[in-house]
Structure 1
């Protein structure tokens, strides 16, 4: 499947900015199941100071905002070819050992609610089947609904609330998997919707390590393993390590963020 993606993020500042830095993880790589045909990032009101590969092998750009601006716009536009590999990414690669993804973070650390959620599950069972069951349990106990959580909400808090979004589903799944001894990681990226091309935000899911297969993806919110509609952009121990945009600013008391995202299928010429 050939997917065309346009992702535009705009910051409107109440007061002129004195100083601001942004870290961007918005550039997908050619990897198992996807090939980047083209990808370009442009910006207004800011400039790229440095581009590098972080410890999770994510392409990362550091931006500085031009002093005195009141608006910054970042646009990514590209074309990706994807294949349906039933969510299987394959062997582990990169700078970090697998055991790094077995340790909990502040966002994934389980409490009593999450520990109860994994009751009866064991990594000694058929691991793939067990992980699909875990995915179903998470979706059943945490209804997908916006407005109840933020990027700072922990997995345990989302379980207790009973509401959340894809980020929360991924954190809960990851924390539960790690609790029973399965390495797991967070994935941020894009999903082509079947009913529309315009979206309000990107998507998030989880990957867990299955010895005979390697890394395997689980989209808890949609109850499937990622297929050709998905584009992986960044991975990490949790959202903080794979967030599309993070940063800080000085000199403005308030800012508004708006996102325009279009993911659509293109016809491939024969």
Structure 2
């Protein structure tokens, strides 16, 4: 599918501030699943300098730096993207041992996947849930990733949180509710508990009945031998195909945030407004 996307973010400050360097991750990925046909990034006020680069995990990013004091800043990203993954099940799991969990990755790339297996604060409740889903699906890898996605979609209340970091998995499983980013973090932790490498993805989801996407979306990619990184969206309850447009992915949500940066100004506060439009 072909999409034209406009994403505008405006920061307003209570008084003029000095803008520290800011990293912007609004350039859609270009890979086997999607093709970036055109991209522009407009900044107001114009930065003193900018640098497009590839970050440590392969995301396209732009570093901005500024001079003088500013009372606001607007970032406008315009993208034209073609998504290519029509059938998300067009793969063969190999070697055969990868059909069963817990997963043991081949030594040839297990090291590269280690950041996506790390659990900073293992939660027993997550372990118990994952073990139940695993038992119900006879330890099958593909059945587990689908069943876990549907479990979170059907059993957890979905909420909208405009601001704030993603909740830890322990909080989401305790409250049994969360935003798309909260459910993504919980899904990641459940996958890692059974040895599956998983990472956080930020991007857009095209809804057929609306051109106003409203919110940046979040989902998960799981590394399945033979299939590579494959997307699962627990908040929507779907396997990712050609209606998801990925911007960035990282082992932790912060590394896939659309913008990262701070400001300096005594007593100054900030307010953020944003708008996302997707035309298909």
Q: Give the match's secondary structure for 2:231.
A: strand
**Counterpart residue number, 2:34:** 34
Q: Where do residues 17-166 of structure 1 align in structure 2 (5 Å cutoff)?
A: 17-47=17-47, 48-87=49-88, 97-105=112-120, 109-122=121-134, 125-147=139-161, 150-166=164-180
Matches of 2:263 and 2:90, distance apart in 1:
37
> Structure 1 residue 226 and structure 2 residue 227: aligned?
no
- 2:279 is matched with which residue: 236, 239, 264? 264
Q: Which has the higher helix share?
A: 2
Matches of 1:198 and 1:67, distance apart in 2:
35
- The C-alpha deviation readout for 1:63-120, integer Å capped at 9, x for no partner, is 12442210100000021111234446989xx9x8123211124xxx442322222133
TM-score norm. by structure 2 comes to 0.85
Q: Give the match's secondary structure for 2:26.
A: strand
- Give, in angstroms, the shift of residue 34 of structure 1: 1.0
Matches of 1:60 and 1:115, distance apart in 2:
35
Check conservation: 1:89, 1:217, Cα contact below 8 A: no
Matches of 2:153 and 2:29, distance apart in 1:
29
TM-score norm. by structure 1 comes to 0.88
Check conservation: 1:110, 1:176, Cα contact below 8 A: no
Residues 86, 186 of structure 1: CA spacing in aligned structure 2 closer, same or farther, 3 A cutoff? farther
- The C-alpha deviation readout for 1:21-74, integer Å capped at 9, x for no partner, is 211111113211211111110100242432221111001111124422101000
Q: How many residues align?
A: 260
Q: Which moved more, 1:110-119 or 1:219-228?
A: 110-119
Q: CA RMSD in A?
A: 2.5
Unaligned runs of 5+ in 2: 94-108
- The C-alpha deviation readout for 1:109-149, integer Å capped at 9, x for no partner, is 44232222213344982211111011112223321112498
Residues 54, 147 of structure 1: CA spacing in aligned structure 2 closer, same or farther, 3 A cutoff? closer
Check conservation: 1:85, 1:227, Cα contact below 8 A: yes
Q: Which moved more, 1:218-227 or 1:43-52?
A: 43-52
Larger radius of gyration: 2
Q: Give the match's secondary structure for 1:67.
A: coil
Unaligned runs of 5+ in 1: 266-270
Q: Which moved more, 1:151-160 or 1:166-175?
A: 151-160
